[in-house]
């Protein structure tokens, strides 16, 4: 069985020479280490896999600004995820109006009608 424990320097050299698989392995290593700075740098270098990993983290955290940044860096799926989150109904809100506001408005309307 071959040794698959490749050091980071070798992966970096291969990635710098255009090897996409090495770039993906660097992204996986950064993700496993929780190194968001490294993942962001890899995205800036054109790693779509880093975009996938960053998007997954940002979407889980509901970080809309980060999703926008990832989309701006060239990973289109982050933009789709951002739109999905923006269009999703929020807890306690319908069409951007809170339940409390709706109750207040309907109470005011009833009072005006009864006056």
Q: What is the pLDDT of residues 62-95, one digit of tens each?
A: 999 999 999 999 999 999 999 999 998 876 554 4
Whether 24 has a pLDDT exceeding 80, the answer reads yes
In this model, does residue 1 exceed pLDDT 60?
Answer: no
pLDDT for the residue 5 = 72
Instruction: Please name which of 60, 64, 71 lies closest in space to residue 86, comparing C-alpha atoms.
Output: 64
Model pTM above 0.85? no
4 pLDDT tier (thresholds 50, 70, 90): low
């Amino acid at each position: 069985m071959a040794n698959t424990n490749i050091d980071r320097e070798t992966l970096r050299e291969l990635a710098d020479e255009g090897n996409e698989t090495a770039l993906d392995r660097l992204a996986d290593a950064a993700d496993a280490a929780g190194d968001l700075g490294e993942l962001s740098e890899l995205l800036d270098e054109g790693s779509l896999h880093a975009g996938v990993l960053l998007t997954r983290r940002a979407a889980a955290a509901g970080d809309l600004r980060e999703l926008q940044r990832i989309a701006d860096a060239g990973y289109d799926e982050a933009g789709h995820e951002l739109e999905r989150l923006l269009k999703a109904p929020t807890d306690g809100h319908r069409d951007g109006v809170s339940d409390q506001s709706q109750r207040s408005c309907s109470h005011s309307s009833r009072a005006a009608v009864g006056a």
